[in-house]
Structure 1
Amino acid sequence: MLILTDLRKSPLRLLRFLTLYARPPLVRLGPSKRWQALEIETQPGHRVLIVDDDPDIREILVRNLEQMGCVTCEAADGLEALDQLQAFQPDVMVLDVNMPFLDGFGVLDRMRELSVGQDVRTLMLTALNERDDVQRSIAKGARDYLAKPFSAKQFALRIARLLIRSRSQLDR
């Protein structure tokens, strides 16, 4: 366990401590060394489907999304994701690529074939970080791509951007 005096001696430890345990996440404001709580503008009640075979990742994402006011649903593989797309009808889907039974690319293909979730904005969240993987995801219908490991701030900003785009389409 870190003692507060240890955190003062090492700015890097302090930063790591604050980003892990401060709620809401803290961000640095420009060249000044001031910190401010990250406020994400989202309307409460947005529905987000989280598809990842790793339960720890799902738990972290659920916690972050619930702090943003989102309603979440989880799926552990691609087949379960297709069922949840119809039952839950999310605004945004966070989709891992490497999963058992049906991978993330397969989910995007099946969504197109079955005409399911056509209005769902998809964020690909994966350890694959090659240019071809990003291009393949976008070509198959994903709207954004975030490589693991990622920060809570990056994730929150990407989700907020997808939710804003989703809401603006509904207003038209």
Structure 2
Amino acid sequence: MRKSKSILIIDDDPDMRVYLRKLLEGMGHEVHEAEDSLSAEKKLTAIYPHLILLDINLENENGFNFISQVRKIDPHRRIKVIMISSLSSKKAIELSQRIGTNGYLIKPINNNILMTTMKKIMPDLDLLEATIVDQNTSRLTAKCMGQVTKISEVELVLRSKIKFSEKMKLNISSKFLKKIEIDRAQFVIHRPSRDVQPGIYDTDVSIVGLKEKDLKGIRSLKTKKA
């Protein structure tokens, strides 16, 4: 079953769109953007996304009003909608629930809360599984939601709830890495994880053992972004 999703970000703040795009593409998802309701409606009918991240205060329309357009196109509510806003009032949250959205996130967006919300409303999302391999210690397997925030031909950055403090090998199983055909590589941590925010860490992981022909998947990502 396909676990990566097509996601439409609707927000008139370009910085927020860039931030969410990087975050979601790092998780292996296909991301589309719209800055207002007019462009959003066109993209909505063209791509029919799995999920919409919708800002309440758009430039030419209230985000709540746009929900009615979504439901006309998708009366069976297959498209999930998460509202994003700087408004934390009980009234706004209750209104969001009444009109049938699937979640409400308050800006600034907490990465962990976003991933948890997405996993809750779309339970077939891919989980990253990391296994610590060390002959001198017990074998430990930890499952957590994680994301690849950056990748090159020699290294990737893994963002997760796990903080690594020493050099070790990892066996990483991920739909995203399998898709670009590097899941059979060896993954090695060479330095301690960095704190991103409380309980969330970035870890530099070396990609070892790939041949020239194995690098096509990573290079294709760079080509698409160029």
- Per the TM superposition, whether the score is higher than 0.5 is yes
CA contact (8 A) 1:64 1:156 kept: no
- TM-score scaled by structure 2? 0.51
Aligned equivalents of 1:59 and 1:116: distance in 2?
Answer: 30
- Kindly indicate whether residue 59 of structure 2 is the aligned counterpart of residue 100 of structure 1: yes
Please list the CA deviations of residues 19-45 of structure 1 after superposition, one character each: whole Å capped at 9, or x if unmatched. Answer: xxxxxxxxxxxxxxxxxxxxxxx9553
Q: Which residue of 2 aligns with 1:139?
A: 98
2:31 pairs with 1:66: no
Whole-angstrom distance in 1 between the partners of 2:83 and 2:45: 19
User: What TM-score results when the alignment is normalised by the length of structure 1?
Assistant: 0.66
Please give the alpha-carbon distance, in whole angstroms, between the structure 1 residues aligned to 2:115 and 2:73: 30
Query: Number of paired residues?
Result: 126
1:148 to 97, 107, 131: 107
- Alpha-carbon separation, structure 2, partners of 1:84 and 1:126: 21
Is the 1:47–1:91 Cα contact (8 Å) retained in structure 2?
yes
The SS at the match of 2:123 is: helix
For residues 1-172 of structure 1, the aligned pairs below 5 Å read: 44-113=3-72, 115=74, 118-164=77-123
Partner amino acid for 1:101? Answer: N
Inter-CA distance 67–91: structure 2 relative to 1 (3 Å threshold): same
Deviation, 1:68, is 1.1
The Cα RMSD (Å) is: 2.4
- 2:54/2:81 contact within 8 Å kept: yes
Distance 1:66 1:114 in 2: 25
Matched letter for residue 137 of structure 1: S
Q: How far has the Cα of 1:109 moved from its partner?
A: 2.1
Q: Distance in 1 between matches of 2:81 and 2:18?
A: 19
Amino acid at match of 2:121: L
Q: Are the counterparts in 2 of residues 97 and 105 from structure 1 also a CA contact under 8 Å?
A: yes
- Highest RCO, 1 vs 2 (Cα 8 Å, sep ≥ 6): 1
**Larger Cα-atom Rg:** 2
Deviation at 1:137, TM superposition (A): 1.1
Query: Is the alpha carbon distance of 1:114 and 1:67 closer, same or farther for their aligned partners in structure 2, counting shifts above 3 Å?
Result: closer
Q: Which runs of 5+ in 1 are unaligned?
A: 1-41, 167-172
Stretches of structure 2 that go unaligned for 5 or more consecutive residues are 126-226
Note the C-alpha offset of 1:150.
Answer: 2.5
Instruction: Provide the C-alpha distance between the structure 2 equivalents of 1:105 and 1:115, rounded to a whole number of angstroms.
Output: 16
**What secondary structure does 1:125 align onto?**
strand
The letter for the 1-side match of 2:36 is D
- Percent identity at matched positions? 28
